[in-house]
Structure 1
Amino acid sequence: MKKMFFPALVAAVLAAAPAFAQKPMAQKTTAGTDKAAATVYKVQPQLSTMGWLAKKVTGQHNGTVQFKEGDVLVRGNKLVGGTFTADMNSLKVEDIKDEGTNGKLVGHLRSDDFFSIEKNPTATFKITSIAPIKADAQGNNATITGDLTIKGITKPVTFPAKIGVKNGVAAASGVATIDRTLYDIRYGSKSFFESIGDKAIDNEFTLSFNVIAKK
């Protein structure tokens, strides 16, 4: 789909609810180590959002994907781990208003050129560690590392995030940059098709998220 572009999971943090700032932890938290002592908070899909933004030589596209379910692990007043599942069948394109053109791009993104959604209806992310950082201009106060699975392929991902727990609610928000080619999504990539010219699609896309979980 020549100039149709690829998203990838998900870019505009659509804040359905605020993320609460968490005071820096004394040391890096490894999710597996703290699981036994942690309380499970359930992700609230109706309050949580995830967006994607993908760019190409001639422009960009953006859209959303819905969370299906997830668990956030909390110990004391600190977020220490979590597992999240995205419903790939909910993938939407938001920047194209023409119904026919929008449908063509969504169909292409669902195909084997991109996410193979019929074969892989979900994508998952599992936190493996959380390290505190000094809050930056965006309010990020932690570095999250975890395993992201797309199309059945799992790769580690690290990104800054704003996390916190308050009054029985755990929240996390941030933006992660993903290299789609690591998940066998090579369509339109100059890394594999050198002569593609202005039809090239960036290898990296961003996923933005705002997760709300309740006790």
Structure 2
Amino acid sequence: MTSLLLRVLWSGDNTEIKPDLLQKCIRGETLLKKIDISSLDILKGNNTSYIITNMQQPGNHTEPHVHQDDPTKREDQDKLDEKLLEQINLLQSSLNLIKRKIGSNLAESSERQEEQQREIDRLDTLLKDGMRKNHMLTHRIADLEGNMSDVKCEAYGAHAKISGHEKVFEKLIAFFKDIDLETEYDSYESASQKAASAGSCPRCD
């Protein structure tokens, strides 16, 4: 059982596998009787390189030489080479597709993050504006409470004055209790009407 180690360097979108180097590696180092694609392991290192391992062939541990003078073996070898190249090119295409997909996902993720940040900024602005308005309302309420306190004091003072005037009027009424106030009011009203009908106003005179 023989393992063939191929290092495929991937740099950006310019990924390229050189067929001549691959052919040289296959013909000069080992003869692959069978390629087990299910045994391919792709490892990604920090240098963005991909390693293909475990490409096994049955048989003994001794690497046989390629018989260039045997047409059948050479034809089989060419078919295996073509199949290997086809599979590696397919793998290369898959890796490029994965790379584009990752790039697309990163772009979409970046856009979503920007949208979320804009929404966070908008909500933060609304929150600050709400806090500012709440602060203004708090001061306004405090002012109104102060005004209400002043109004209460004024109302208390007015009530005290009214009570005082009421007591004074009660004393005056008690002092002039012998006077018929209704008769006095009627006589004053009658005199006022006569003066008005005569064309003279006592207040104007």
Q: Same fold (TM over 0.5)?
A: no
| TM-score, reference length from structure 2 | 0.21
Higher strand share: 1
